[in-house]
Amino acid sequence: MQKFEELWKVINILREKCPWDREQTNESLKYKLIEESYEVVNAIDKKNWDDFKIEVGDILLVALMHIRIAQDYKITSLEEVIDLLIEKLIKRHPHVFSDKKLSSANEVLEYWEKSKGEELFRNINFSMPALYLAYRITQKAQKIGFDWENKEDVFDKLDEEIKELKSSKSKEEALEEIGDILFTIVNLSRHYDINPEDALRKATMKFMDRLNRTLEYIKENGLNLENLTLKELDEIWEKVK
């Protein structure tokens, strides 16, 4: 714990003596947590463990700075935050800290959700990315039995939503139907035990890789992007895949 105490001391010094750190509030730093979290996700996706060590440290820095700022306003303290965390961890892990038996990761997850009781659909964090938000909410709905029985039923629902989109008469209707399609695809992903955030991120990265290779091909072969037809671009796209 000596290193943690040293880090906390540095955080306090920065808050007291650095002009920039002194001006920060919980409001001004709230999106910094999101930004740093995505940096960690990016490092994990790339399996860049040197970057991971740095970025996960940045999350720790921002979290501790939030606590230090809250302490200034007498909202909480480091001790209280740690006490509440310890209490929650012990309460939600009876298979570790008591005689209750939970033998698998799924059983642990189910108990964790049940231990929240009425909290299950309260205090939903709507600041999460929409795709992941839908995934988490449908996971919770599944826990109480509100779910399609199989993939085929979800495919049927997807076909239905696509037909409704095709027959939409206004932008507002199309907005709603596209939302329904995306929400259904989230459920379909869950039935395949796939996180839709991971699937979309992978598809986006694949698209960017092929697009970059297409642009490199155009440049290396002395072609003019503006003069190429869609058909010619598609032929180059297929060639570099």
Closest CA to 161 of 150, 173, 172, 145: 173
Average pLDDT over residues 67-95: 92
Identify whether residues 13 and 87 lie together within a single domain: yes
Question: Interhelix angle for 130-143 vs 105-115, to 10°?
Answer: 90
Residues 94-119: tens digit of each pLDDT: 878 877 777 777 777 666 666 665 55
The answer to whether position 137 is within a domain reads yes
Residues 3-17: tens digit of each pLDDT: 999 999 999 999 999
Min mean pLDDT across 94-108, 132-146, 172-186 is at 94-108
Element (H, E) at 85: helix 78-91
Min mean pLDDT across 80-94, 100-114, 194-208 is at 100-114
Q: How high is the mean pLDDT of the chain?
A: 90
Question: Can you give the CATH number for the domain in which 71 is found?
Answer: 1.10.287.1080
Residues 140-153: tens digit of each pLDDT: 888 778 899 999 99
Single out the residue in 91, 106, 137 at which a domain terminates. 91
Angle at 226 between CA 220 and CA 228, to 5 degrees: 75
- How many angstroms separate the CA atoms of 65 and 70, rounded? 8
Q: What percent of the chain has pLDDT over 70?
A: 93
Which residue did the predictor score with more confidence, 103 or 77?
Answer: 77
Answer whether residue 181 shows pLDDT above 80: yes
The answer to whether position 101 is within a domain reads no
The answer to whether position 45 is within a domain reads yes
The pLDDT of residue 115 is 61
Min mean pLDDT across 26-30, 106-110, 231-235 is at 106-110
The pLDDT of residue 233 is 93
pLDDT-based confidence at residue 230 (cuts at 50, 70, 90): very high
CB 135 within 8 A of CB 196: yes
The pLDDT of residue 210 is 94
The pLDDT of residue 119 is 57
CA distances to 3, 37, 43, 78, 140 from 93, in Å = 27, 25, 29, 23, 19
The answer to whether position 115 is within a domain reads no
Average pLDDT over residues 37-54: 94
Single out the residue in 48, 74, 91 at which a domain terminates. 91
Identify whether residues 149 and 77 lie together within a single domain: no
Domain span at 169: 124-194
Min mean pLDDT across 91-105, 111-125, 206-220 is at 111-125
Identify whether residues 172 and 211 lie together within a single domain: no
The domain tally of the chain equals 3
